[in-house]
Structure 1
Amino acid sequence: MTLTTIDRINIAIDGPAGAGKSTVARKVAAELSYVYVDTGAMYRAVTLLAQRNGIGPEQAADLHKLIEGLDLKLQPTSTGQKIMLHNEDVTELIRSREVTTQVSHYAANEYVRQKLGDMQRELASHKGIVMDGRDIGTHVLPDAELKIFLTASVKERARRRHQELNDSNYVPLEQLEAEIAARDKLDETREIAPLIQAEDAVFLDTSHMTIEEVVSYIVKLGQSKLMGVSE
């Protein structure tokens, strides 16, 4: 049977840096046979492009001009999502510390958010999307049938990030905690689409939950929502 928009819903997963949104969203999408859209990767790609062109986040006019010709594609593969920037695979490059420490500054730009938001809404127009970010439920997909606000303590998020690092990009745990707390403040206080919980979002603190428990919980909520939409 071919799925139609009636048979699918959109799921928005928001939350602060290091909350596990991407991992959870990817697994939820796989469980439901939906398409996963990593909006964070899109902002990282823009950051990488701007850095390569020597454009700082405060150079609004230059950034605006750069984004006008943006060629960005998200390609699903058997091993995850591939990020193609002007036909170049930048999937690994956008995870560098240079990008990670600056992405929130570029993401605060009004035109960047408008451009990528339009792209994200187009991707979600046919339903069956699991999208994670910081303003999905409040700004990008305010009509998403299921919204989740995923979070964890700063200490726990830093611990998880610390475990992901290897010797080549080692950062002290205390530094990660400070960086995550600073990014939280920047995301929550920016003028354009700040990080806030949507009024109709389900709050989920994962500090003491496994990835599998979080995924299972959201999948069950999704299935319940789908039943409600189909009835």
Structure 2
Amino acid sequence: MSETDLAHLVVAIDGPSGSGKSTVARRVAAALGLRYLDTGAMYRAVTWWALERGVDLADTERVAQLARELRLEQGLDPEIETLSVDGADIAAAIRTSRISAAVSAVATNLGVRAELVARQQAVARAGGVVIEGRDITTVVAPDAPVRVLLTADEQVRLSRRALEVHGSADADAVDATRDQVVRRDADDSTVASFQQAADGVDVVDSSLLSLDETVAAVLKLVEARTGVRA
């Protein structure tokens, strides 16, 4: 694949909570010199905006309207996360437990999904990007030359998320994280397919892999599918 073709390459990565898809996608994008789109951050941004405005997330029509009106600016640099709504920097605010506990209500709102998927598809059409989320390989970029389902054993995913959120993977931290991971996956699976690989989607199980090994596995798939070597 030539440098010109690389500018149009799309790598689509799906996976459940705690599978490491955000970190892996960032690392893959940086290694290949591509842009990076965290679609989950978009749903978190809508959640934050709705809560800030005192909107009941159960009011699906109002929340969908907010999504359509959302003045969202999201950076695509894999090295630096930048995210703002209506000029306000919310990169840190969307990662709080308050947003994590509420985001499923927004992510399962079909009106919100329609709006955000359209925005994600616009990024995919421009190419030169690694996109990760829940239904990237099947809905956002089903024709991407590289489509990956990144998965891991549930206990491994719980431990990873507990370490990320609580700084520990002991039993108490894992239990405190369980609802966020297991419930969200169950909720989101009602509107998005990310538990099983669709036809043509490669599976990378990171249960027994380090972060470096997982990134290397995805880069190997990119090379196998496109000829592009990091």
Structures share a fold, TM > 0.5?
yes
Deviations 1:133-187 (A, max 9, x none): 00000111111111111111221111111212357xx973213124322122112
Aligned twin of 1:101: 101
Matched residues in 2 for 1:199 and 1:11: separation?
Answer: 16
The residue that corresponds to 2:180 in the other structure is 179
Aligned residue number for residue 87 of structure 1: 87
Query: In structure 2, what is the Cα distance between the partners aligned to 1:68 and 1:209?
Result: 40
Residue identity opposite 1:14 in structure 2: D
Distance 2:6 2:36 in 1: 18
Query: What letter is aligned with 1:11?
Result: V
Could you say what secondary structure the match of 1:165 adopts?
helix
Question: In structure 2, do the counterparts of structure 1 residues 69 and 81 end up closer, same or farther at CA, with 3 Å as the change threshold?
Answer: same
> Counterparts of 1:65-214 in structure 2 under 5 Å?
65-76=65-76, 79-166=79-166, 172-188=173-189, 190=190, 192-196=191-195, 197-214=197-214
Q: Is the 8 A contact 1:55 1:63 kept in 2?
A: yes
Q: Would you say the 8 A contact 2:19–2:150 is kept in 1?
A: yes
Q: Is the 8 A contact 1:42 1:116 kept in 2?
A: yes
| Structure 1 residues 179 and 6, CA gap change in structure 2 (3 angstroms) | closer
Aligned to 1:179, what secondary structure does the other structure show?
helix
Superposition deviation, residue 105 in structure 1: 1.6
Residues 1:121 and 1:68: Cα distance change in structure 2 (over 3 Å):
same
Q: If the length of structure 2 is used for normalisation, what is the TM-score?
A: 0.89
CA contact (8 A) 2:18 2:161 kept: yes
The residue identity in structure 1 corresponding to 2:194 is L
State whether residues 149 and 194 of structure 2, in contact with CA within 8 Å, keep that contact through their aligned partners in structure 1: no
- Per-residue CA deviations over 1:170-209 (Å, capped at 9, x if unaligned) read 9732131243221221122x2x334343221111111110
Counterpart Cα distance in 1 of 2:131 and 2:193: 17
Q: Secondary structure at the match of 2:113?
A: helix
Amino acid in the other structure paired with 1:185: A
TM-score by length of 1: 0.89
| DSSP-derived class of the 1:73 partner | strand
Give yes or no for contact 2:12–2:136 (8 Å, CA) kept in 1: yes
Change in Cα spacing, 1:142 to 1:30, as seen in structure 2 (3 Å) is: same
1:155/1:177 contact within 8 Å kept: no
**Runs of 5+ in structure 1 lacking a partner?**
none
For residues 27-64 of structure 1, what are the alpha-carbon distances to aligned partners after superposition, in whole Å with 9 as ceiling and x for unaligned?
00000001010001111101101111122332012112
Aligned AA (1:153): D
3-state SS, counterpart of residue 104 of structure 1: helix
In structure 2, the residue matched to 1:34 is: 34
Quote the sequence identity (%): 34
Letter in 2 for 1:97: S
Distance in 2 (alpha carbons) for counterparts of 1:160 and 1:32: 25
Please tell me the residue identity of whatever aligns with 1:182.
R
SS of residue matched to 1:57: coil
* Distance in structure 1 (CA, Å) of the matches to 2:7 and 2:35: 14
Structure-1 residue corresponding to 2:224 = 224
CA distance in 2, matches of 1:88, 1:123: 22
Residue identity opposite 2:175 in structure 1: E
- What is the Cα-based RMSD across aligned positions, in Å? 2.1
Partner of 1:63: 63
Question: Is the 8 Å Cα contact of residues 35 and 77 (structure 2) preserved in structure 1?
Answer: no
